[in-house]
Structure formats: C-alpha cells, structure tokens
Structure 1
Amino acid sequence: MTNHYYQTTPTSSHEILKWSFELFDKDFQFTTDSGVFSKNTVDYGSRVLIQAFSFEQLPEGSILEIGCGYGPIGLAIAYASGRLVEMTDVNERAVYLAEQNAYNNQITNVDIHLSDIYTDVHEKQYAAILSNPPIRAGKKVVHQIIEDGYCYLQEAGTLTIVIQKKQGAPSAQKKMEEVFGNAAVIKKDKGYYIIQSEKRGRR
C-alpha cells in the first residue's frame, strides 16, 4: 500500500531519523519518521517561507499553521516570535513527532494537535495563518486552505503559503486574489513562491 504524508494514519514501517538544522539562530534537533513529508531535512520551500514571513507588523494574537508535519515552520516561528503558534496536521504520526520536537527543543508556546484543515482548530480568529500546503492532496485542498482561511483571520491578519510555480503558484495566487482582494508574491526562490494576502474587510 502506498503511503502519503496527507493520510491520517500512515501504515509504513517506522524509520526513525534524528538530525539537526539551524533555523534563525537556534540549532533545532528534529526527530522524523517514514510517512511524513520531507523526513530527511527541512524542505527548501519551508525554509523560504520561514525566512520570508514577518510577524512584527501583525495584529496581536496567535498564529495558525495548517499542515505542520513534524514541525519545522511552526516551531521556528514560535521560537522567533514568542507568540502562541497552533500547529495542526491530518497525519497522526506527524503530530506526534511535532509534539516530541517541541519538547526536545524546549518550545512551549505551541498548541499541536490533529485537525483536517480548519475542522478542529482551537480559536476563532488568528493574527496569521501559514501553510506549506500538501500539493499532492490536490488543488481542492489548497483552495480550501485559502477560502476558509479568510474567516479565521483577524482584520489585518495575513495568510501566507509557499508553493512552487510548476505545482500551481499562479492558480493559488489567483484564488487568493479572488478571496482576499489582494495577493502579493513576497519572495521567489528557486521556483518557490511565497504568496501572502491580508484581510482588509472586503466581506
């Protein structure tokens, strides 16, 4: 049976890996496993998103990460910003690893749990939503993250995603423009686009 990282319960045999990776000025220690996205290193798209995301100008409040995997984006942003970061994933194995990685790196300002996109999120509105969306799960999932995200953002809150041009960045940007009325490419790097929309009270 083929396993996908966007499945709820991976059935692949465990293959525990431990490695370190520097994000901001911290040497993070990560534990990963088979059945999760990019188990060997922090994938390049996530690195670009972490570097491009600015939290200084956001309204007060928590940050939500949709599709946290084993945790590199959410843990790095929690460490750098000091804000509460709610980290969710549909993959049970990924959530377990993210919890372990938070503990091992002494990151306590996180709320990590299972959720199918926004189904089980813990707050009604966030200062920002981040996602390295599961492209292989299909365009419908990516567009749902964008469409439903609007309602979960505070005024002046931002939705930021990373997506490769060849995997649908122009389509995602168009959808974000439709939903938010704005969609800026704030960074391009090796084919990865960081696209950001701001909630400006259009609805």
Structure 2
Amino acid sequence: MTEKKAGEQYFTANPDADHDYQEFDFELLGHNLHFTTDAGVFSKKTVDFGTRTMLEVAGETDFPEGKVLDLGTGYGPVGVAVAKAFNKNIDMVDVNERALDLARKNADRNGVGSQVKVFQSSIYGQINEKYALILVNPPIRAGKPVVTAMLQGAKDHLLPGGKILAVLQKKQGAPSAQKNLEAVFDQVQVAGKKKGYFVLEATNG
C-alpha cells in the first residue's frame, strides 16, 4: 500500500494501511510531549504546521470556563497539549478508530489521561455537550461538505461566549471557510496567520 493511499484514509473509520508506528517528542504550549503515531493517521511524522499555528493562537485566546472539544483529534496533539498547558477537561473525538487508540495512549503517556475523554464521533454526531472552546484543523481531503459541517455545526455546541478556532491554508479555502462561519456567527475574525495558514476565530454571542 502506498503512503499516498494511507494518507488519504485518515478521515475514515478504519484505515487499512499497514501499521508503521513512529515516536517523537515535540514541544507544544511550553511542554515537551511524547507522541506515538501510526500509518493511517494525519501527519504521523511530526505535529503539522497548521496545528502548531492554531495552538499558538489558542494559548493567547480568552474563552469562558468550561470543557474544550478537540474535533478531529487524530493521535491527540491538540487535546493533549491543551489539557497539559491549561489544566482543562477535554473531549477528544475523531471518526478514525486507529487514531483514537493512539490518542488515548498519548494522553496517558503525557499524564493527562484523567482529564480527557476520547471517543468516536463523525463530526458532531455523538456530541451532546456545549463547550467553551472548539479546536479543529479540518480534514480538507474529506471534502467541502465535511469541512463546512465542522465549522458551522460548532454554533450548536458552544457555550455563550464560547469560541471555535479553525486553521486552514489560504490556498485550501480559508477565505470561503471564513464566509461559512460568518453565515452562522456574528463575530468572526482572523485571529492569526503564518506562512499561508489562517486561524479563524468565531465567537458564540
């Protein structure tokens, strides 16, 4: 199986790529974290630049008290980093069962297993709570309808004053994603940008 095929399947429930475990350390939000990854998950060799950019913005974002949702958690770098840095309770969800197994292991290994709940959800399908902050690096390859649902669906799952932060490359649709957010949120802004990546912020007024 080619790496391209494996990469294209990270947003499916059960990737069939042969296992190829990797381990690495990475500093996020001031903490050195250790991650185990595998084939069939997004950005298995390092924490991708978009995620790092979004976390930098999250570290400077004011949001109300409450739980955080890591939507499309993958192997868990966002949820683990936010739980570690902010001492927050995090729900970490993904459609990909292989990724979820890794996310659980990575949360435990980095000492935040008791703060996180890791479970399967196709977008917001299994989510019944409201959150202070939703963080998402949308899977562009899954298609525009999936990305739009991730962005616009946040409105129904945020506390008053809660925020969604989403990172997208300009060339992969950040301007249209901003318009999608503006269709359902009154307060939308570009909270940060770096090397072609835009971090969009929408607030539930």
TM-score (norm 2): 0.94
Q: Distance in 2 between matches of 1:102 and 1:69?
A: 12
What's the CA shift for 1:25?
Answer: 2.4
2:57 equivalent in structure 1: 52
Report the count of equivalent residues: 199
Residue 116 of structure 1 pairs with residue 127 of structure 2: no
1:198 equivalent in structure 2: 203
Q: What code does the residue aligned with 2:101 have? A: Y
What's the CA shift for 1:196?
Answer: 0.3
2:27 equivalent in structure 1: 22
SS at match of 2:138: coil
1:31 equivalent in structure 2: 36
Q: Distance in 2 between matches of 1:186 and 1:169?
A: 12
1:41-75 CA deviation, whole Å, 9 max, x = no partner? Answer: 00000000000014763222101111000011111
Q: What code does the residue aligned with 2:194 have? A: D
Percent identity between the two aligned chains: 43
Q: Any unmatched runs of 5+ in structure 1?
A: none
1:7-48 CA deviation, whole Å, 9 max, x = no partner? Answer: 100111000111111112221110000000000000000000
What's the CA shift for 1:92?
Answer: 0.5
Q: Distance in 2 between matches of 1:178 and 1:35?
A: 33
1:173 equivalent in structure 2: 178
Q: What code does the residue aligned with 1:182 have? A: Q
Please give the residue correspondences for 1:35-184 in structure 2 after superposition, counting only pairs within 5 Å.
35-54=40-59, 57-107=62-112, 108-121=114-127, 123-184=128-189
Q: Is the 8 A contact 1:99 1:112 kept in 2?
A: yes
1:189 equivalent in structure 2: 194
Q: Distance in 2 between matches of 1:21 and 1:184?
A: 29
Q: Is the 8 A contact 2:192 2:200 kept in 1?
A: yes
Q: CA RMSD in A?
A: 1.3
Distance 1:182-1:56 versus aligned 2 partners, 3 A rule: closer
1:105-144 CA deviation, whole Å, 9 max, x = no partner? Answer: 11131111111011112x4211111100101001111110
